[in-house]
Amino acid sequence: MDGTLICPACGAQYPEDDVVWRCRCGSYLDLKETFRPDPTNFQGNHFLQRYSSVLPLRNPKNAASFGENPTPLHPMVFYGIPVQVKMDYLLATGSFKDRGAAVMINKCRELGISHIVEDSSGNSASAVAAYSALTGIDAHIFMPEGNSSAKTIQVSTYGATLHKIPGNRTDCAMAAEEAAADSYYAAHIWNPYFLHGTKTVIYEIMEQMNWDAPGYIFIPVGSGTQLLGICLGLQEMKRAGLITKYPRLMAVQSEHCTPVKNFALGKVTPELPKTPILAEGIAIRHPARLSQILQAVKETGGDTVTVTDRDIVEGLQMAAHQGVFMEPTSASAVAALKQYGNRLSAVDRVVVPLTGHGLKASSRIQQIMGTQ
C-alpha cells in the first residue's frame, strides 16, 4: 500500500516512515491513498480482519486485537421516532474509540514506535491505554483533572502513565503537545490512522442494513473522529458504487461548546468553563479538523444540532427505561432527536451511534439523576 501522508492545507507529502503527526505548516495530515471497497473481500468477524482490505495496515492479519465482534444495531424509540442504535459502547473498553485506537496503535507498532503521548477527555484515553498494553507500547495519557473518575481509573489500571491536568480540555491538549516534543503524539484528533479505524463502524452499519443507506445519522461531535470516519467510509463506498447517496450526517454539540456551528457562522467559540461539562466527550473548543467536520456535514446534506443539558438528562432517562445505559455524551445524540424530530418524515430511517457506556460515568449519572 502507498502509506504517503498529505497535508490538505499546503500539499506537502510525507512517507509514513517519517513518523510525523503534523505538517510543518501546522495542519493535520491525511492519508493520500484511497481505498475501493469490495464486499467479497470482507471476511471474518472482528473489524481489523473483516475490513483489512480498506485499512492502512501493512500486516493486518498480524494486528493485535481483542477479537472485536460486530456491535448490534438495535431498534429503539425516542420521542415517538423509531431509530436504530449502533451499540459501539459494547466494544472492549466501552466506547467506539476502540475502532480508531486499534488501527492507530497497530500502525505505531508497525512503524517501530514504542513511546506515545495522547490527550483525551476519557474514552480515547481508555482505548489507547488498552491497545498500548496489548502491544507493549509505553503510553503517557493526559486527561483533564475533573473528568469522570471511572475513565481515569480505567486508564491507570491498564498500566499507562496518567497525567491529570488542571483546567479544561484545551489546557490538557496544550500539556500533551508539550510532552510530545520527546515522544510520538498519538493524538486521535490529529491522526489519520485513527479515522480509518473509526470508519469501520459505517461498514458494519451498511452491512447490517443490507447496503441500504439510512436517511440520517445523529453523531455527538467533539474532535469529530466518528463523524469524519463515517464520512470517509461513505466516500469510499460511493466511489466504489456500493451506495448512490449519503445519509445526512448530523453533528450534535452541547449548548456549552458549539465550535462547528460557530465556525459556520464565522463566530469565535467562547472559553470553556473550568468545571466539567455534562457531555464531557464533546467539550472541545478548537477541534483540529474543524473545517473538515463542517465540509463533511455539508457534503452529506446534514446539519448541526445544539442540545441542552436538560434534554441530555431526558435522553438518558428514556434510554434507561428501554434497558440501555449510556454516558451523557451518547445521550446528546438522543437529545438531538427532540430538537430535530419534527423535520423527520415517516419514511426516514435514523441511526444513532451509542459512543460510550454509562458505566464510564456512573457516578456523574447518579449525581444528575438522583439514583440510588
List, for residues 330-372, the tens digit of each pLDDT value. 999 999 999 888 888 767 899 999 999 999 888 888 888 875 4
Q: Which residue has the cell 430511517?
A: 349
Q: Which residue has the higher pLDDT, 177 or 163?
A: 163
* pLDDT per residue as tens digits for the range 175-210: 888 888 778 999 888 999 999 999 999 999 999 999
pLDDT tens column, 3-14? 899 999 999 999
The tens digit of pLDDT for each residue in 314-325 reads: 999 999 999 999
Average pLDDT, the chain: 92
User: What CATH number does the domain located at 73-93+193-369 have?
Assistant: 3.40.50.1100
Least confident of 46-55, 241-250, 253-262: 253-262
Domain boundaries, the chain: 1-33, 73-93+193-369, 97-190
> How many residues comprise the chain?
372
pTM (2 d.p.) = 0.95
Handedness of CA 144, 146, 150, 154 (dihedral sign): positive
For 122: left if phi > 0, alpha if psi spans -120 to 50, otherwise beta; the answer is left
Q: Tell me which of 25-34, 118-127, 140-149 is least confident.
A: 140-149
pLDDT for 372? 44
CATH topology for 97-190 is Rossmann fold (3.40.50)
Encode pLDDT of 268-291 as tens digits. 888 777 677 788 888 888 899 999
Q: In this structure, what C-alpha cell is assigned to residue 268? A: 469565535
Q: DSSP label at 273?
A: P
Listing DSSP states for 143-202 in one string gives EETTS-HHHHHHHHHTTPEEEEESS-HHHHHHHHHHHGGGSEE--TTT-HHHHHHHTHHH
